[in-house]
Amino acid sequence: MQHCWICDLGMADYAETVKIQQKLSLLRSRDVIDDILLLCEHDKVITCGTSTDPTNILWDEKRLADAGVSVVNVKRGGDVTMHVPGQLVCYPILNIRYYRGVLEDYIGYLEQMALRPIKEFVPDADVWDRHPGIWINEKQLAAVGLHISRSVTSHGIMINVSSDTSLLEAINPCGMKGLHSTSVEAESGKKVDMRLFKESVVNCFADILEKDVEEISVKQLLEDIDG
């Protein structure tokens, strides 16, 4: 069973997490470090992938600014996505040379690590043949966006746990026109403990990818990548 670090960054600046992922990806490609799963939440930011159609951002610049939403371009697949507080973001930095299967399998692994914890609250949630991620009644609960370089994954999957769904109306989720996003709390009508939800996601991640996981502090992580 392969080892994997788990680091919870807490509420993290989006641009800083991109830099951290880039550093970790380089180290992982050289086998300097083991695989690592980053967990975090971001403040309000719209991210545009390499195939984003700008018309999928539905709010104008003034409305975005008034709501405190920034817009950034990122090197990942997919269309437009949105991060808000209350959304769990999972960034696995994995060297896929050591995994069975191909990219399509990996997307399925990400979906399953989100689906199992979601189903504890929203039993009817599931994958959808029209688009990657987790959906309920054609509303998006979790979205996938990937980047792979030197056989190492970055970016990953985000899960709307207790997100403000009114903010999520600023975009067409993943470029799916006319569709909407929702949250686990909105669909279940129950309060979700983010700490326990994270634990469930990590347990599923370890089970699906057959990982021996160990927590690492943010301080230790930053010391390792800057050392």
The residues that are catalytic are 174
Amino acid at position 143, single letter? A
CA distance 182 to 168: 8
* Calpha distance 3→213 (Å, rounded): 6
Q: 3-class DSSP state for residue 1?
A: coil
Measure the CA–CA gap between 123 and 148, rounded to whole angstroms.
32
- If you search the block for the tokens 């699906």, which residue do you land on? 208
Q: What does the DSSP assignment read for 109-146?
A: HHHHHHHHHHHTT-TT-EEETTEEEEEETTEEEEEEEE
